[in-house]
Amino acid sequence: MNQPTSYHRQPVPDFTPYDVAVKALEFLGDQWRALPGPWATTGHLHGWDNTPFTILAQPTGELIIRNDQLGDALPLPVEPTDTLHTVARVVTDVIGHLY
């Protein structure tokens, strides 16, 4: 049975938002590129049409992706215990809703 954990005992992924952006390139295709933000605390994706997206963690711990051109953002339905592969796959699924 899963026991709830306190705010201070949340699982911490062993990858950064930039790692997620790089991994997402495997699913998005070769016309996309990824760049790191400061200290890799954000990951930036640029689409085939040069549309910029940012992957970042909110102060609440929620991971979001934002279309920087439009200002729209969506939460990524992932957990801190999900694998890098899973999170990157979700990015590619959600990114289509931000165009």
Q: What is the pLDDT along the chain (99 residues), one digit of tens a residue?
A: 455 556 567 788 899 999 999 999 999 999 999 999 999 899 999 999 999 999 999 988 899 999 999 999 999 999 989 999 999 999 999 999 999
Q: Is 97 helix (H, G, I), strand (E, B) or coil?
A: helix
Asked whether residue 50 is domain-assigned, the answer is yes
Q: Domain span at residue 84? A: 13-98
**pTM for the predicted model, two decimal places:** 0.89
From the list 27, 95, 20, 32, the residue with the least C-alpha distance to 65 is 95
Asked whether residue 22 is domain-assigned, the answer is yes
Asked whether residue 63 is domain-assigned, the answer is yes
Asked whether residue 3 is domain-assigned, the answer is no
Structurally, the chain folds into a number of domains equal to 1
Asked whether residue 5 is domain-assigned, the answer is no
Asked whether residue 35 is domain-assigned, the answer is yes
Asked whether residue 1 is domain-assigned, the answer is no
Asked whether residue 8 is domain-assigned, the answer is no
- Separation between Cα atoms, residue 10 and residue 43, nearest integer Å: 22
